[in-house]
Chains A and B, each alone.
Chain A
């Protein structure tokens, strides 16, 4: 059996932290870009001349998995975490915008009609109906995406885009499975902790508010 080199846990811990940072920044920036795009892609808020092109761009973005974006950005901006963050942003934008426009399109048409029949501006409609009616889904997607991006960031290092994956692939290449195992254990523990954390947050904030919605739907 391979000897696990426990003295590497320090390095593993710091590179994991860097990975989480990448995922965190990528998720936040990606979601921030995705939100306005999701509004522009919603069929119930725009004419087809607006949502058509925006959806096409989003679909194009989604055709690349994040590892391919990472390779592309490594070529464009060089090795390192910056390329990784850019890759995560692209992937997050493509997915969250789609998930979110689907949510916006399923917003109950009654509050939409009631508020737009007052003759309010489109901005006001977005602020007073679209925001509050989709906020809990949006939060839920943000959590899901962060969770997912931590896993993604852990492998982006394979193509030189920063994070813990760099160490894992390096040790595997040199047949240092004991060392690689340390890094993989750290990834495993981190993913489990984040998983547990998002379940807690979901229970506390999101399920509750969605339950509130159900109650009022009657």
Chain B
């Protein structure tokens, strides 16, 4: 295989594919129903929708924390599942930032960041927190990148909301990720800080050829930063659009027909 053909293969690789995926937390209600999506490597993909529509569940399916009750999911051609050995190794390179960030409050910014490097560390090293020099340097480089230089030794609970998000991003970048999943991490921030954080991720994404899947509450933010935006409502993907600059280049209704979408919206207006 020549270098150029492998390049074109990589650049169009479908890194995430979901086929008719449904899942539920209890036996009665679907949290997600009949989801189809396909994400190219390197895409900045946004998921938007009202709260309770299934956005967080969608991310948890992508990192193997949940499994679908129906349909198939492939992440880099592997089925995400904690018990799948190949996928477990892939998890090392899937950065996941939950809605509440999941930082460890009583340990330092540096140690929180170092958690992203744990798959690369040995048992004794990680137990004694005896981190190799090059990993410490890498952590410091990333913390500088996210704007936290000089705060390495600060305990996580002492940080502001914006700073906490930067630590969570640093932890994910420390994984040297190929995929970044971020759940509404800028929703609670003010306008300016939210954009600072989004720019930071956009920069890292370009540098690392990262595929980013970010859940947003705010459609505006999604349109501003993403190449593709999926809209989820009541557990179903209602539409997906491609964005280039200020214009919408591709408009697809999702798994619902236009009539079904209209019906959903008119249902809502009746309530």
Contact = CB atoms under 8 A, between A and B. Distances in A.
Interface string B154-174: 011110000010001000000
Nearest to A209: B106
Given A110-B102, A119-B119, A132-B104, 8 more contacts: A110-B100, A113-B96, A118-B94, A118-B118, A120-B115, A120-B119, A216-B156, A216-B157
Interface string A123-148: 11001110011011000000000000
Q: Residue among A129, A132, A133, A209 with the most chain B CB within 10 A?
A: A132
Interface string B103-119: 11111000100011011
Contacts of B89: 119
Interface in A126-185: 127-129, 132-133, 135-136
A111 B98 CA distance: 9
B92 A111 contact: no
A118 B104 contact: no
A213 B157 contact: yes
A116 B164 CA distance: 19
A129 B157 contact: no
A209 B121 CA distance: 28
Contacts of A127: 126-127
A209 B158 CA distance: 11
Q: Which 5 A-B pairs have the closest CB atoms?
A: A114-B102, A119-B91, A216-B157, A110-B102, A212-B157
Interface residues of A, number: 27
Contacts, number: 91
Interface in B103-162: 103-107, 111, 115-116, 118-119, 121, 123, 126-127, 155-158
B104 A128 contact: yes
Contact of B123 (A111, A123, A128, A209): A123
Contacts of A118: 91-92, 94, 96, 115-116, 118-119, 175
Contacts of B158: 212
B88 interface: yes
A217 to B, nearest CB: 8
Given A119-B88, A213-B157, A216-B157, A111 B103 contact: yes
Q: Residue among B89, B102, B107, B111 with the most chain A CB within 10 A?
A: B102
A128 B118 contact: yes
8 contacts: A114-B103, A118-B92, A118-B118, A118-B119, A119-B91, A123-B123, A132-B104, A136-B106
Contacts of A111: 102-104
A132 B102 CA distance: 13
B198 interface: no
B114 to A, nearest CB: 9
A133 B115 CA distance: 14
A175 B106 CA distance: 56
B74 to A, nearest CB: 18
A117 B123 contact: no
A112 B65 CA distance: 11
Contact of A117 (B94, B99, B106, B111): B94
A135 B158 CA distance: 18
Interface in A193-209: 209
A215 interface: yes
Contact of B96 (A117, A128, A132, A136): A117
A115 B63 CA distance: 12
Contact of A213 (B98, B101, B106): B106
A63 interface: no
Contact of B104 (A117, A119, A120, A129): A129
